[in-house]
Amino acid sequence: MVEKIREVRIAGRLFRLRGDDVRRAVRHVDPEPIASHYVVIARRRFPPKQVISAVTGLDRADFTTHQARRTLMRLGFVAGRREKRSAGRAPRRAADTGNGLADQLRPLVGRWVAIKDDDVLFDAQTPRELVGWLTEHGQKADSVFRVPEDELAATGLAPQ
């Protein structure tokens, strides 16, 4: 099956893009912190402007987040918006949202994660890589841990 090519005009320039072009452009790129909007590529959340800039070479000031988000959605990527919490509001429970923290962690088994406000900030293969990303982006996590492989590892119970 041949992947569709989409022609999109961004900042007055015409680009011919495919989903594979986008995946290739961010394959070795670490996602930046999510302020509000994000797009999911290869199970990682990226700011839409970071992705469009990487795939087109355009300066991020040349287009809006909404243009980037719409373009990526038309290429078949899932987009979302990070929920902002007010200071007095209780944390969300996984049962309150269809997309709880457990759902976010499921594909990250065996990886190190940084969590803030019930959301995965970043995941990495090693704790050093994770802390490096947090430092580089001036981020603070509520918690950092390695996602366990199974329930036994999660509870710390010894096998019988």
**C-beta neighbour count of 13 within 10 angstroms:** 12
Name the strand (E) or helix (H) holding 32. none
Helices (H), 76-126: 101-105
pLDDT tens sequence across 12-32:
999 999 999 999 999 999 999
Confidence of residue 149 (pLDDT cuts 50, 70, 90): confident
| The pLDDT of residue 153 is above 50 | yes
Quote the CA–CA distance of 153 and 149 in Å, as a whole number: 6
| The pLDDT of residue 110 is above 80 | yes
The stretch 56-75 carries a mean pLDDT of 94
Question: By the 8 A CB rule, do 11 and 53 touch?
Answer: no
Report percent pLDDT > 90 for the chain. 47
| The pLDDT of residue 7 is above 70 | yes
Domain residue extents for the chain: 6-81, 101-151
| The pLDDT of residue 97 is above 50 | no
- DSSP H helix total and E strand total for the chain: 6, 8
Instruction: Compare 152 and 96 and report the one with higher pLDDT.
Output: 152
Q: Residue 116 has what pLDDT?
A: 87
Q: CA–CA distance from 64 to each of 25, 70, 120 (Å)?
A: 19, 10, 24
Quote the CA–CA distance of 44 and 97 in Å, as a whole number: 19
Confidence of residue 95 (pLDDT cuts 50, 70, 90): very low
Lowest mean pLDDT among 12-26, 123-137, 145-159: 145-159
Q: Residue 155 has what pLDDT?
A: 61
Q: Residue 63 has what pLDDT?
A: 94
- Here the contacts of 52-57 (C-beta below 8 Å, separation 24 or greater) are 52/10, 54/25, 54/26, 54/29, 55/15, 55/17, 55/21, 55/22, 55/25, 55/26, 56/10, 56/13, 56/15
Quote the CA–CA distance of 84 and 63 in Å, as a whole number: 24
